[in-house]
Amino acid sequence: MAKLKIRFIDIVYFVAIIGADIVVYVILGIFQMDYDDNEVRSRGGYLNLGGMNKWQLFYYFLLQTWNILNLLGIIFIGRKIYKRIKDFR
């Protein structure tokens, strides 16, 4: 039976990547608060794209792009873990 090898440096990289990801979410969340503070109800409901100015739209789409990148990263990591576990057995 093969031994599963997890190095300390791999754990440090993983924690650093998660920390950087959280920092990006916090920054994008702070930029999104501009929309919450300056929302104009006469332009439509909450998160209506017509009610956002160009910077609010930019940060909104940047956040959605970051969400998609995170999903792709989770799929990639999940596939890698699945392959390791499959090869381990």
Asked if residue 27 is part of any domain, the answer here is yes
Residue 44 makes CB contacts below 8 A (sequence gap 6+) with: 50, 51
Mean pLDDT of 51-58: 90
Mean pLDDT of 78-89: 85
In terms of Cβ atoms closer than 10 Å to its own Cβ (0-12, 13-18, 19+), residue 59 is buried
Range of the domain at 12: 8-88
Band the pLDDT of 87: cuts 50, 70, 90. Answer: confident
Best mean pLDDT range from 10-24, 30-44, 73-87: 10-24
Number of domains in the chain: 1
For residue 4, pLDDT beyond 70: no
Asked if residue 2 is part of any domain, the answer here is no
pTM of the model: 0.78
